[in-house]
Structure 1
């Protein structure tokens, strides 16, 4: 039987390499969505994680565009240009480079290095959450709680405690007399996994963000559960108000602000959506799109 490292290796073999940032993010998002669709009454954390990962994917796509000119230079598609942006434009036109290739090159020149660094930090956080919790979902799906207990390390105590709660909730859901208690246990397990992610995994990454990185991350935190765009789900900016966000008074990078929004806005909305899940519903269609079904 695999060890934890074995489960991690197994799951990583199905992911694109780290340098294929957009493809890797989509694969992570698809895994989360697929786990939820497999057992929507149980894997509520994974369903929410799919939407969060999809939002992070917007920033990752921008990071890949900002990296494209450097990769073009490395591949010999263009020669590096020096000087001002206008000088760079002249150099690239002189090299016979098309406008389609010039545009991302100029974007790269105009953007600050810090912006790209912030987006790469957000990408690393997305990878770290999946690495921390993804293997546990796979082990539980294929071997149940006993397999997870066999593989878990002391450092993963929070994950094991959450899955024990999840497993007990699943058992109680099977009995009419304890269905309500089981439903609440699954919700509590979801909260436990989310709290571990938010309080343990994310803070070191959030602490590295610049002011502009914090603002970008904050403005990007809306959840499109139904395919209606920003109006389709909870939003940090709507919850605290745009003036507070733009002034920096409230930020998703602040752990207290982040958990307040999650607890009071995001989780109630997600639990309501998850409770109403049905095949063919807007939520089901959104998740199937994210899963690539």
Structure 2
């Protein structure tokens, strides 16, 4: 007998209630399984960043990104992220040096007050002291924001790679939205600015491209996600941090001797900077008014860096230097 179109017909489908109940249970079990798997990788990521010192934490993040690429060369974004995160670590070191220097200057100012008296000190050293205090405040802000952005991005993107590598694209697609169930139960330093695990189209497009072998699109989509969905609201929309980045660019481009300004670049090496005519690096801009906080300008820089990284990996000689640098980043001393 041909069955009717009504799936709940008691004649054609006498066991429809039991079958519906079983299907509902399977769906619920699958949902809980997705959440448990996300929780597993999220807790692994939290263990990696569970270091109080932001500089030591940054080295662990760099190593985890580099290891992702060393284990699976399809994860080219992770290799690029290892170098970019290493560059963030260089910024942390520079900011920390400025904080220490400012503290030393403050101690020196106190000695000057004692030796010459408050009135003479105000006449001769007050402006210098105020400038030093401003430098310390700016360095402290940069240190805080760089550390927070570095940690948050890792907590977002590293588990995505690990889940995809373990379970493949189909389960990744099926489970992606269930990651939101972890909100409020995981470490997420930017909860006041960015929702944890908010479903963004760039994420699915990125891993679909990786799965099909289109590595460059995967890198581009993940770059869009990290820069515009995570870092833009978490860091660059902060007016004080954006102003600091503009001041740094202005001072560096015009060679203003601040003692703290640094060129914004990405060096494809385990060192902070590289020099020479054939240096493996990508510069942000030489223009004094270039604005790193502007998403379009920053994305142009990131995509140039991504293209340069891809070229280096295809070069018959330089690819070994890049891989050696990533190995050193993955295994810090």
TM-score, reference length from structure 2:
0.63
Whole-angstrom distance in 1 between the partners of 2:44 and 2:316: 30
- Alignment partner for residue 167 of structure 2, among 113, 129, 143? 143
Whole-angstrom distance in 1 between the partners of 2:268 and 2:207: 25
Q: Mark the runs of 5 or more structure 1 residues left unpaired by the alignment.
A: 71-79, 92-106, 170-184
Q: Name the SS for the 1:36 alignment partner.
A: helix
- Alignment partner for residue 57 of structure 2, among 16, 20, 24? 24
Whole-angstrom distance in 1 between the partners of 2:302 and 2:318: 26
CA contact under 8 A between 1:32 and 1:46: conserved in structure 2? yes
Q: By percentage of residues, which structure has more helix? A: 1
Q: Which residue of 1 aligns with 2:264?
A: 221
Query: What CA deviation, in whole Å up to 9, does each residue of 1:1-44 have, x standing for no partner?
Result: 53423321122113332x3111110011111111111122x011
Q: Which residue of 2 aligns with 1:12?
A: 46
- Alignment partner for residue 81 of structure 2, among 30, 45, 49? 49
Q: Does 1:113 align with 2:156?
A: no
Query: What CA deviation, in whole Å up to 9, does each residue of 1:46-65 have, x standing for no partner?
Result: 01001100000012223445
Whole-angstrom distance in 2 between the partners of 1:206 and 1:137: 25
Q: Residues 210 and 187 (structure 1 numbering): CA distance in 2 closer, same or farther, change over 3 Å?
A: closer
Whole-angstrom distance in 2 between the partners of 1:258 and 1:279: 26
The structure with more radius of gyration: 2
Q: Which residue of 1 aligns with 2:226?
A: 197
Matches within 5 A, 1:237-256: 237=285, 241=286, 244=287, 246=288, 248=289, 250-256=290-296
Q: Which residue of 1 aligns with 2:126?
A: none
Q: Mark the runs of 5 or more structure 2 residues left unpaired by the alignment.
A: 1-32, 115-130, 178-197, 253-261
Q: Residues 283 and 69 (structure 1 numbering): CA distance in 2 closer, same or farther, change over 3 Å?
A: closer
CA contact under 8 A between 2:63 and 2:331: conserved in structure 1? yes
Query: What CA deviation, in whole Å up to 9, does each residue of 1:192-240 have, x standing for no partner?
Result: 1111112211212112214233344794432222567153211113xxx
Q: RMSD of the TM alignment (CA)?
A: 3.3
- Alignment partner for residue 282 of structure 2, among 234, 248, 261? 234
- Alignment partner for residue 207 of structure 1, among 225, 237, 243? 237
TM-score, reference length from structure 1:
0.71
Whole-angstrom distance in 2 between the partners of 1:108 and 1:25: 27
How far apart are 1:89 and its partner, in Å? 7.7
Query: What CA deviation, in whole Å up to 9, does each residue of 1:71-90 have, x standing for no partner?
Result: xxxxxxxxx99x87421689
Report the number of matched residues: 242
